Amino acid sequence: MPNSDATGEDVTGETARPGGFGSPRGAALTGLREAVGVPALVLGASYLGFGALIQGAGLTVWHGLFSTFTGWALPGQIILVELYSLGAGLLVVAAAVAMTNARLLPMTVALMPYLRAPGTPRWHYYLFAHYVAVTGWAAAMRRCPSLPEDQRLPYFAGFAVALWAMCLVTTAVGFFLSDLLPGYVTLGLVFLNPIYFMLVFVADAKHRARILALAIGALAGPLMHMVSADWGLLLTGVLAGSLAFFGDRLWSRRHV
């Protein structure tokens, strides 16, 4: 028998019913349960690698936990540790981390309109904007549009906070198990999350713009890297995203 909340609605099924998950509580529980699976395993493994990286840089476990607690964005955290290891100045480190995490701003702008609901205190949005990261954002963009308004923010909160808590735990575990992890394994674990993120969008092939962006990015990435090793990734993102957006709009207009 499927799990259900107090209203009798299924809170673990793959697709939401017309009434969503029955209640905001049911939506939050669903988000938590969906996070504690493949997403938590993949992201947790990545943060095992980050914890080992913290130890190798000569930092304490508390530095690693503080980084994950306050700036939960793995690419920026890795850059922070790497630049610290190289002896870079504070302004250089801050600028590099800010540029790396700038991608979170358009992600937040895209997601927040889906999370708004009448009667929700504004501070809730400011609080949970902190939890906008790649995995939670992808899940919310897939799930929330089909949910009732009052269940969208609870679903995202349940999903994202569960992942964040897992990352805190695995940061500490990775730190203390760092001597058991060879360097190449640590690097491999760190790259699991972007691979998972890409596969999530590939699996969600009904969104034409996303598939176009992935395909164009895969083709343009190596070429842009040859043009500029420093700016190639940024150029690829702008080019692939823009072409996918306008290509999808053009296709829709011609097939109305």
Is residue 3 in a domain? no
Instruction: Assess whether 182 and 256 both reside in one domain.
Output: no
Considering its fold, how many domains does the chain have in total?
A: 2
Instruction: Assess whether 241 and 179 both reside in one domain.
Output: no
Rg (CA), the chain: 20
Is residue 4 in a domain? no
pLDDT tens digits, one per residue of 158-217: 999 999 999 999 999 989 988 777 766 766 676 666 666 666 666 555 677 777 887 888
List, as one string, the DSSP characters of 142-209.
HHGGGS-HHHHHHHHHHHHHHHHHHHHHHHHHHHHTGGGS-HHHHHHHHTHHHHHHHHHHHH-TT-HH
Looking at the predicted structure, is the pLDDT value of residue 13 above 60?
Answer: no
Across the range 228-233, mean pLDDT stands at 81
Is residue 36 in a domain? yes
Instruction: Assess whether 130 and 236 both reside in one domain.
Output: no
In the listed set 191, 213, 246, which residue is the last one of a domain according to the structure?
191
In the listed set 162, 191, 220, which residue is the last one of a domain according to the structure?
191
Identify the domain containing residue 123 by its residue range: 24-191
Q: Can you read off the two tokens belonging to residue 68?
A: 């994950």
CA distances from 108 to 55, 88, 256 (A): 31, 29, 30
Is residue 247 in a domain? yes
Q: Can you read off the two tokens belonging to residue 211?
A: 């598939």
Is residue 14 in a domain? no
Q: How confident is the model at residue 155 (pLDDT cuts 50, 70, 90)?
A: very high
Q: How far apart are the first and last CA of the chain?
A: 43
In the listed set 191, 224, 248, which residue is the last one of a domain according to the structure?
191
Instruction: Assess whether 227 and 156 both reside in one domain.
Output: no
> Counting Cβ atoms within 10 Å, is residue 18 exposed (0-12), middle (13-18) or buried (19+)?
exposed
With the CA atoms of 209, 214, 216 and 222 taken in that order, what torsion angle do they form, in degrees rounded to the nearest 10?
Answer: 160
**Lowest-pLDDT range, 6-15, 94-103, 222-231?**
6-15
Instruction: Assess whether 133 and 162 both reside in one domain.
Output: yes
Instruction: Assess whether 214 and 174 both reside in one domain.
Output: no
